[in-house]
Amino acid sequence: MPLLSVQNVCKYFHGNKAVDDVSLEINKGEIVGLIGANGAGKTTLFNCLTGYYKATSGKIVYKDKRIESLKPHIICRMGIGRTFQIAKPFGDLSVLENVAVGAYNKCKTKAEAYDKARQCIIFTGLAGKEDTNAGTLNTGEQRRLELARALATDPELLLLDEVMAGLTPTESQEMVELIRNVKDQGVTILMIEHIMPVIMALSDTVYVLESGRLICKGSPEEVSQNTQVIESYLGKSQEA
Amino acid sequence: MNTKNFNRITLTALLLVAVLFPFFADFYILCIGISVLIAALLGQSWNIMSGYAGQFSFGHAVFFGIGAYTSTTLYTMFGVSPWLGMIIGALVAALVGAAIGFLSFRYKLRDDYFALATLAFAEIFRILVNNTSALGGATGILIPYLVKPSEYQFASDKTYYWVILALVAFATVFIAVMSKSKTGLNLVAIKSNQEAAAALGVNVLKYKLIAISSSAFFAALAGTFYAQYYGFIDPSIVFASSISVEAIVPCIIGGSGTLYGPLLGALLIIPLQEICNSLFTSISGINMIIYGVLIVLFIMFCPDGIYGRMTKYISKRKGN
Segment holding A172, helix H or strand E:
helix A169-184
The Cα B211–Cα B189 span in angstroms is 13
Query: Are B188 and A135 a contacting pair, CB within 8 Å?
Result: no
Residues of A in contact with B186 (CB under 8 A): 101, 104
Please give the average per-residue pLDDT across A118-144, as a whole number.
Answer: 95
- Low-confidence residues in chain B, pLDDT < 70: 1, 318-320
Q: Greater confidence, B208 or A237?
A: B208
**Nearest by CB to A90, which of B188, B201, B320?**
B188
The Cα A96–Cα A99 span in angstroms is 5
Instruction: Write the Ramachandran bin of A15: left for phi over 0, alpha for psi from -120 to 50, otherwise beta.
Output: left
Residues of A in contact with B50 (CB under 8 A): none
Beta bridge pairs of residue A6? A24, A60
- Check CB contact of B181 with chain A, cutoff 8 Å: yes
Residues of B in contact with A99 (CB under 8 A): none
Centroid of chain to Cα A220: 18
Residue of chain B nearest A84, judged by CA positions: B196
Cβ within 8 Å, pair A100-B185: yes
Residue of chain A nearest B257, judged by CA positions: A92
Q: What is the pLDDT of residues B235-258, one digit of tens each?
A: 999 999 999 999 999 999 999 999
The Cα B68–Cα B232 span in angstroms is 10
ipTM metric:
0.91
pTM for the full predicted model: 0.92
According to DSSP, residue A35 is labeled: E
- Check CB contact of B193 with chain A, cutoff 8 Å: yes
Average pLDDT over all residues of chain A: 92
Q: What is the pLDDT of residues A82-101, one digit of tens each?
A: 999 999 999 999 999 999 99
- Check CB contact of B10 with chain A, cutoff 8 Å: no
CA atoms within 13 A on the CB side of B60: 34
The Cα B189–Cα B197 span in angstroms is 6
